[in-house]
Amino acid sequence: MSVLWTASEAARATGGKALGAWQASNVSIDSRSVEPGAIFIALQGARDGHEYVAEALAKGAAAAMVTRVPPRLADNAPLLIVEDTQAGLENLARAARARVDAVVLGVTGSVGKTGTKEMLRTALGNQGRVHAAERSLNNHLGVPLTLARMPRDTGYAVLEIGMNHPGEIAPLARLARLDVAVITAVAPVHLAAFANVDEIARAKAEIFDGLKPGGGAVINRDTETFGILRRAAAAAGARILTFGASADSGFRCRSIRVDGNATTVEASAGGAGLKFRLGAPGRHLAFNALAVLAAVDAAGADATKAARALARWRVPPGRGSRFRVHPVPGNSGWIEVVDESYNANPTSMGAAFDVLAMSTPTGGRRIAILGDMLELGRDEIALHAGLARHPAMGGIDVVHTVGSLMRALHAELPDDRSGEWFESAEALADRVAGLLDIGDVAMVKGSAATGLGRVVEAILALDSHPRDGIET
């Protein structure tokens, strides 16, 4: 692998002292998954990373960033000694950003961040080397880690920037020195930390604090808080690009057709017609794609090429990926699983209901398995109960629920749609074989902390064939 950091470069970047003349090809903050050749950064959080330095070096780490020399190390152990390892990580990120001639794009929003980030990776993939965050590395550790890992020859870097509280996005955006900033949508998420959606919009608009003057600000024209976002972008000196269904959207959606396992979109941009296809079903995905094309345009890349590339995009794991499970040996019939287990809020729940309601079971039922939506604040019970009134609920046959908050939805559902309520994901996972039949389409969705990933695993374990993994 190519050299990402030499000992002398890392020392200059961090103001630290390097012991040994090592070279590193990666950066890691987790001793469990550290790869040979990486710098292991001994962060001090709930557990002190210095306790795992010896383990990381034994696994082949090129060096360890520490504030002190841990015990049980060889005298010639390769180290980078700094005053503070969190600051050291951020300084590596800052130096990596300064040394590349790349267009850096940042994505935030209440919903759709990871999917939009992955769409950008695909859309720009044939126009230059793309470096993008792995999984959902979007917090005070994930953003600097992604930057510190950025190869020297990066053409486009795509960062996901998240938050749970006010003031978290701005420092990350400033660290990244963004050329393009995207806000996918503003929705009632993390209301435990905010009084209302306007406050959430102002927190999301902090991304413009890190936007270079004249950089591109991509904003959802349809959101009710558009005015807040537009004013913040204008105050940052941004070039504003809009997307949505509104007539005055710069990237305007004119029609969406969800056909089986794909979505066809007809749009217009700057007066020119634009038609493209996404390799996954969902009306909400069409609007994420328009945000992507606006961001590509703001980055100075070719939006037409990007639109063609989106046909290769697939949803990330846990965010709508699909699998077929053949539970009966010798029987070609299957259960289709839609894995939405990574996260949930009222907006993303509604989008998932829309997709499930449009699914076509092979003789079975449309089944929703729903877990608690967390961090919704004082209205959390009402927001759960209100899901029963979503228009797409009419197209769902059975709803099974998990968790204390989802009990409110369970109570609101009509008898012909109400399935079983379970206290925990583990309890449902133990019973899931009896809840599903061949021909069903089962969508599993909830906040990650509810553990519905275990339910998905339990369904997949019913497979009597090698798993298709069909991202259908």
d(CA 374, CA 2): 42
Please give the DSSP secondary-structure letter assigned to residue 37.
T
The pLDDT score that the predictor gives to residue 355 is 87
d(CA 291, CA 299): 12
Average pLDDT over residues 425-442: 95
d(CA 350, CA 284): 10
Please give the DSSP secondary-structure letter assigned to residue 127.
S
The pLDDT score that the predictor gives to residue 377 is 86
Q: What is the pLDDT of residues 140-186, one digit of tens each?
A: 999 999 999 999 999 999 999 999 889 999 999 999 999 999 999 99
- Indicate if the pLDDT at residue 212 is higher than 50: yes
- Indicate if the pLDDT at residue 466 is higher than 60: no
The pLDDT score that the predictor gives to residue 470 is 43
Poorest-confidence range of 168-172, 375-379, 389-393? 375-379
- 370 beta partners: 401, 445
d(CA 78, CA 76): 6
The pTM assigned to this predicted structure is 0.82
Q: How many CB atoms lie within 10 A of CB 153?
A: 12
Q: What is the mean pLDDT of the chain?
A: 92
Confidence of residue 122 (pLDDT cuts 50, 70, 90): very high
C-alpha neighbours within 13 Å on the C-beta side of residue 29: 21
d(CA 356, CA 130): 32
d(CA 280, CA 34): 33
Q: What is the pLDDT of residues 286-307, one digit of tens each?
A: 999 999 999 999 999 999 999 9
